Amino acid sequence: MMLLEPSPTPADLRFSLAGIPVRVHPFFWLMAIFIAGLDRDPRAVLIVVVAIFVSVLVHELGHALTAMAFGNRAKIVLWMMGGLAIYEPGTDEWRKRVLIAAAGPLAGFLFAILLAVGLLATGHTLIWIGSGPGAIVPLVNGISTDGLNVLVNALFFVNIMWGLLNLLPVLPLDGGQITRIVLQQVQPAGGLRTAYWVSLITAGGVALLSLTGGRNNLFLTIMFGLLAYQSYQAIQALSGYDGFYDSYSNRRPW
């Protein structure tokens, strides 16, 4: 999730969903294609891009609809590696801000549950990847069309795995936002700096594990390495300015 709204471009896709304006920046499609894998069959790439689009949109709708339930106006922008749900005038109630931040991943989990229930109700079989506690992403068997099989499996993976990653206490991910809000509530003077330290350690750990683990995931290594570096930069910038940054960050949408 990116915190700064990108400038509009002539290539933006615009539409409205549930009364919420949605804008899709062209960089979103480029990043989705990169994530889908340039070495795959073009048809499979297109299907995975559709799954990413649907999943990220569901995620941001979770944020936006929850913000609207608290009386805010909301809009959605999809770009780069995710999206941004912007709501205003905002709220100073920290519990509401926590609920808004958590609503995105929860919407994805609910979507995956409904998808699984629908598949099971129509006679399909779900097989969990791996075994034991690590088996968290289901694969579906019994869909006759290969394209639909790719789509369903991609929807499960993005909504479950990306949702879990998004709940890590890494800024500016949703888990990092929740951590920041809570720490600023219990530690007004230095909560933001502490949140960035937690973000730096967590992001650095994920990047290291991704690099040295059994499955070398270059994308995760780069992504969380950059997030760790951004947290480090923020810690340096916060020196002597906690009050200003704490106040400013409370007004940022996510």
Same domain for 177 and 156: no
Same domain, 153 and 187: no
Q: Are strands 82-88 and 73-79 parallel, antiparallel or unpaired?
A: antiparallel
Q: How confident is the model at residue 240 (pLDDT cuts 50, 70, 90)?
A: low
Domain total of the chain:
2
Average pLDDT over residues 137-146: 59
Whether residues 157 and 176 share a domain: the answer is no
Looking at the fold, whether 8 and 107 belong to one and the same domain comes out as: yes
Q: Are residues 188 and 241 in the same domain?
A: yes
Helix or strand holding residue 16 (H, E): strand 13-17
Structure confidence at residue 92 (pLDDT): 81
Q: Are 135 and 234 in a shared domain?
A: no
Please tell me the predicted confidence (pLDDT) of residue 141: 58
Q: How confident is the model at residue 250, as a pLDDT?
A: 37
Contact between 168 and 206 under an 8 Å Cβ cutoff? The reply is: yes
Same domain, 99 and 224: no
The neighbour count for residue 143, using CB atoms within 10 Å, is 16
Do 174 and 79 fall into the same domain?
no
pLDDT of residue 217: 74
Residue type, 154: A
Task: Label residue 241 by pLDDT band (50, 70, 90).
Answer: low
Output the CA angle 158-139-119, nearest 5 degrees. Answer: 95
Give residue-wise pLDDT tens across range 55-110: 999 999 999 999 999 999 999 999 887 889 999 887 789 999 999 999 999 999 99
The band of 21, judged by pLDDT with boundaries at 50, 70 and 90, is very high
Confidence of residue 137 (pLDDT cuts 50, 70, 90): low
pLDDT in tens, 178-227: 999 999 999 988 899 999 999 999 999 999 988 876 555 778 888 899 99
In the chain, alpha helices (H): 26-36, 42-69, 94-121, 146-157, 163-166, 174-186, 191-212, 218-237, 242-250
Q: State which of 132, 149, 166 marks the end of a domain.
A: 166
- Look at residue 214 in the predicted model and tell me its pLDDT: 52
Please check whether residues 161 and 175 belong to one and the same domain: no
Q: Are residues 150 and 202 in the same domain?
A: no
- Residue finishing a domain among 105, 134, 166: 166
Greater confidence, 131 or 176? Answer: 176
pLDDT at 135 over 50: no
pLDDT given at position 236:
92
Residue 133 has pLDDT above 60, yes or no: no
> Are both 161 and 193 inside the same structural domain?
no
For residue range 24-56, list pLDDT tens digits in order: 999 999 999 988 886 678 888 999 999 999 999
Domain identity same for 227 and 210: yes
Per the CB < 8 A criterion, the answer to whether 147 and 43 are in contact is yes
pLDDT > 80? residue 146: no
Pair 140, 125: CB distance under 8 Å? yes
| Boundary-marking domain end, from 127, 150, 166 | 166
Provide the domain limits for residue 219.
168-254
